[in-house]
Amino acid sequence: MKKRRLGKSGLEVSAVGLGCMGMSYAYGVLHDKKEMISLIRTAVDRGITLFDTAEIYGPFTNEELLGEALAPCRKQVVIATKFGIKIQDGKQVQDSRPEQIRKSVAGSLERLRTDIIDLYYLHRVDPIVPIEDVAGTMKDLIQQGKIKHWGLSEAGVKTIRRAHAVQPVTAVQSEYSLWWRRPEDELVPALEELGIGFVPFSPLGKGYLTGTFNKDSTFARSDFRSIVPRFTPESLTANQGLVELLKKVAEQKKATPARIALAWLLAQKPWIVPIPGTTKLNRLEENIGAADITLTSEELRGINSALDEIKVVGDRYPEELEKRTGL
């Protein structure tokens, strides 16, 4: 597996990471714990070194899963987790007060079976707590040896700059893919200027870019996609042009749509590291293979030109969840 550095931080990780959320959260299926542990360890054997989780995934169960799976190979991997969202009265609420962060990091360290977290993200920007207070707390945790690096998830450029001025940010995590290119407007140029790495989640459009969904696809109520506007039958149908484009390029490159979608992301900047999630061995192997695909400048121009002609239909989040992003 090829390696990449996240910005100027010096943190080196595999070119493709593994998002572990879906193994125990958000997609409506409870997977066998032993099978998921086996999959995570296979990922390590195949060269993946960046593993992504969060306190709220479960809550807690995803971190526990990762901690158990990676315990035998802890020194070989980079563990990224997130803080700042908790369950209160049955609902998710944001809480980034310094005292809450300290509780969160202690819990995550225990569940992950480690004495230090490699990359600790603020999951969503708290509109109440100044980002300078959060960054200052991260600085303290780094000095205390509890975390090595810190980052922000779904943060706006102004907030990133303010945070970076207090304690250098190693990576920003946000959605970015062929069907969500808004980060190209402001975020990607700002990260390049500041020397911050970019870790795109949902690089395969929550599975859509693999070409496996159509207007007849259905999702359980416990599956997050059941409330996502882009996964209504109308949107699934309207966005098929994007899938057809990927299939066409994949055929030319003797690859799969998923590999082309990931290869396109990897070609954007050398400090971009996507974290596709999966619970299946064949998909894991497919995603890993994307790191070996090179898209030429001509091929990239052709893809981008075709993308400019495709209007993506449907919002990426329900309105309430979209309000949490870009602060």
Predicted model pTM: 0.96
- Determine the CATH number of domain 3-207+267-293: 3.20.20.100
pLDDT of residue 221: 86
Total residue count of the chain as it appears in this document: 327
Residue spans of the domains in the chain: they are 3-207+267-293
What is the spatial distance between Cα 181 and Cα 15, in angstroms, rounded to a whole number?
A: 20
pLDDT of residue 262: 98
Question: 132-178, pLDDT tens digit by residue?
Answer: 999 999 999 999 999 999 999 999 999 999 999 999 999 999 999 99
Question: 6-57, pLDDT tens digit by residue?
Answer: 999 999 999 999 999 999 987 877 899 999 999 999 999 999 999 999 999 9
pLDDT band at 292 (very low <50, low <70, confident <90, very high): very high
pLDDT of residue 133: 98
57 assigned to active site: yes
What would the 3-class secondary structure string for 222-243 be? CEHHHHCHHHCHHHHHHCHHHH
- Which residue in the list 25, 27, 57, 176 is annotated as catalytic? 57
What is the spatial distance between Cα 185 and Cα 193, in angstroms, rounded to a whole number?
A: 14
Which residues lie closer than 8 Å to 26 by C-beta, 6 or more apart? 57, 223, 224
Question: 215-241, pLDDT tens digit by residue?
Answer: 899 998 888 899 999 999 999 999 999
Cβ(148)–Cβ(117) below 8 Å: yes
Task: Tell me: cis bond preceding 59? Omega within 30 of 0 counts.
Answer: yes
Helix (H), strand (E) counts: the chain: 12, 11
